[in-house]
Amino acid sequence: MPSFTCQVANLRRTGPVCQVRIGVSQAKADLLKQQNKPIPAPVEITALIDTGASGTAVKPEVIRQLQLTPRGVTNIATPSSATYPCNVYDVSLTFPNGVGIAVITVIEVPLEGQIIQGFLFFPEGTRSPTGQLQRFRKGIEALVQGKSYPIIPAYLQGTHEALAKGRLRPQAAIVRLRIGLPERFQDALGGEASAIAIANYLQARVHALGRSEAPT
C-alpha cells in the first residue's frame, strides 16, 4: 500500500496536518484533453488527518476553483442531529513525497444553511493533567478570523475534581461555569502571527475568568 512520511513542525498546536494537492480526477483530465479543453490547476490546501472520519470533506471554494460538477448527493449528520444534503465529487489527491490517488470521492461541506447555532470549542485539546489551564492550541483562529459572529470565552471550574485525566469514572464535585463578554475578530489578519495572537488573547481571557470572583 502506498504511504508517505511528513513532519509537522508543531504537532501539539496544529494537530496532524499536511499539505495536499487536490485536482480533477484522472478520468476528468483525460476527457478534457480529448475535448481540447484546459485542465484546472490543482489546489494546494492544508488538510487535517482524522482517523475517525468516514469520508473526505472539502470546502466549497476548492470545488469552485476546480470547476467540478457533482456526480451525486449524500446526506451527512449535523450537530443538531438533522441530516444535510451535500454534493459529492470525484477528485485526485497528491500527498507529500508525490504519493497520489487518481480518483477519490470527496464531500462538499458548507456550514451555511445547516441547523447549527454555535460550536463548543476546547482549545486545550485535552483534559489538563493538573487541573490548571493549559496552553491553547492553534485551530480556533481558522474559525474566527475575518468572521463577525461572537466568540464567547468561558471557564469551567471543578471538572478536574469531577473527572481527572486518566480516571475512567466521574465522582461527585461542584462544577462552576463563568461566561465572559463576547469577542469578534472580523478585522483579524491571516497568517501564523495572527493565529498565535488570537490563541494567546483568548487564553488570557479565559484565565482571567478563572481568577474572577464574579457570579457563576
- CATH of residue 87: 2.40.70.10
What pLDDT was estimated at residue 34? 94
Residue type, 178: R
Return the number of other C-beta atoms located less than 10 Å from residue 194's C-beta.
14
User: Assign residue 116 a region: left if phi > 0, alpha if psi is -120 to 50, beta otherwise?
Assistant: beta
Same domain, 100 and 168: no
Cell of 6: 511528513
Confidence (pLDDT) at 11: 65
Q: How confident is the model at residue 19 (pLDDT cuts 50, 70, 90)?
A: confident
CA distances from 197 to 11, 152, 213 (A): 18, 17, 26
How far is it, in rounded angstroms, from Cα 21 to Cα 26? 14
Closest CA to 140 of 153, 129, 130: 153
For the cut 90, the answer to whether the pLDDT of residue 83 exceeds it is: no
pLDDT, residue 23, reads: 93
pLDDT of 145 reads 74
Domain assignment of residue 31, given as a range? 11-108
**Average pLDDT of the chain, as a whole number:** 80
Last residue of a domain, one of 60, 93, 108: 108
102 and 16, same structural domain?
yes
Q: Are residues 165 and 205 in the same domain?
A: yes
Confidence of residue 112 (pLDDT cuts 50, 70, 90): low
pTM score > 0.85 for this model?
A: no
Domain tally for the chain? 2
Q: What does the alpha-carbon distance between residue 21 and residue 41 come to, in Å, rounded to a whole number?
A: 10
* Pair (15, 101) in one structural domain: yes
Tell me: the pLDDT tens digits for 7-18? 777 766 666 778
